[in-house]
Chains A and B, each alone.
Chain A
Amino acid sequence: MSWRLWIPLMVFAGFIGLAAYQLTQPKDDIVESRMVGQELPYFELPPAVERGESISSADFADGTPRLLNIWASWCLPCIAEAPHLERLQREGAEIVGIAIRDRPEDVAQFLAQHGNPYTAIGRDDLSQVQLEIGSSGVPETFVIDGEGMIRYQHIGDIRPEDVPILLEELRKAGA
């Protein structure tokens, strides 16, 4: 008689097991760029802020490894990673930014509020460069070596634990 009363509990336990299993599974849908290991595609971009410097792919092939940060002032995770970018800069990384679909006044306000770790910021109004280097969202950060080769891609915002990894990748790219 009483075994039937346990059925609901059993069914429920099954559900909990399944849900718990699924929660622990990482959802790895990240689209990795096929450009890693290849040369930076050719581009020239106007400055994203007034009186700023323009950037081009040729600038990267001067022997210095750099970080290329794809971001935008309207993107919230970009605010989250701003302090960590600053720390990377303090640790000696040279960071070039590309602002995606942005307006100069918004970029200027963002930099005033959250700091400016960039040596130069280019402006990509149509996401063209972004798509060409195989980035599918903001923020993303690429490690470019001194010959203009893409060495590493970091997807999503930079968290504190990512800082040493990026520094290490930069060091490897410089060696």
Chain B
Amino acid sequence: MRTLKPKHQRLVLVVVALIALLAAGLLAAYALRSQASYFYLPEQLLADPPEIGQPVRLGGMVEEGSLATDSDGVTMRFMVTGRENSRIPVRFSGIAPDLFVEGSGVVAEGRLASNGVFVADNLLAKHDENYVPRELQDMEQHQAAEMAEETTVGLE
């Protein structure tokens, strides 16, 4: 049985490959359900909060006048607001992205802590200076430049 007949051998190969790929697919499907980080608006986060500690993303506007820096100089606290007067307190330690200011849009990657504060690991500022096709909204530093290069509809 060391060398199989070609026909059988091929069948074994195909079956093994299919099983492996199927396993990969199932594993992926399972892991994606548990590991993908969902996007929440502030009102959704209040209405139907994710589990404590589960990585999610929160998108909204930074409330005017809410931004404060702790005395350590690197921890920021601010409110992210959404519709229906929803407000979520956010804490972030790190260097804020360039276009992050009060009144601007922000996407915070992080998790909800048990005290109701959203602890962000990373902030993505909504690029808000250069408008272009609607598809290009959630953009960041480099994209703006490249995109500006290419959206030269106006040279007619």
Contact = CB atoms under 8 A, between A and B. Distances in A.
Interface of A: 4, 26-31, 75-82, 100-101, 131, 136-140, 155-157
A77 B154 contact: yes
A82 B134 CA distance: 19
Contacts of B135: 27
B133 to A, nearest CB: 7
Given A76-B148, A136-B105, A138-B129, A28 B134 contact: yes
By secondary structure, the B interface counts as: loop
Contacts of B129: 75, 100-101, 137-138
B130 interface: yes
Contacts of B18: 4
A29 B148 contact: no
B132 interface: yes
A4 B137 CA distance: 42
Interface of B: 14, 18, 103-105, 126, 128-135, 137-138, 148, 151-155
A86 to B, nearest CB: 13
A137 B130 contact: yes
A27 B134 contact: yes
B148 to A, nearest CB: 5
A76 B105 contact: no
B152 to A, nearest CB: 6
Contact of A138 (B104, B131, B137, B153): B131
A79 B135 CA distance: 19
Nearest to A74: B130
A3 to B, nearest CB: 12
Contacts of B151: 76-77, 80
Contacts of A156: 131-134
A27 B138 CA distance: 11
A29 B131 CA distance: 12
A155 B134 CA distance: 9
Nearest to A80: B154
A115 B133 CA distance: 23
B146 to A, nearest CB: 12
Contact of B131 (A26, A82, A139): A139
Contacts of B104: 136
Given A29-B137, A80-B153, A75 B103 contact: no
Given A157-B131, A157-B154, 16 more contacts: A27-B135, A30-B137, A75-B130, A75-B131, A77-B130, A77-B151, A79-B154, A80-B154, A101-B129, A131-B103, A136-B105, A136-B128, A137-B129, A139-B131, A155-B131, A157-B153
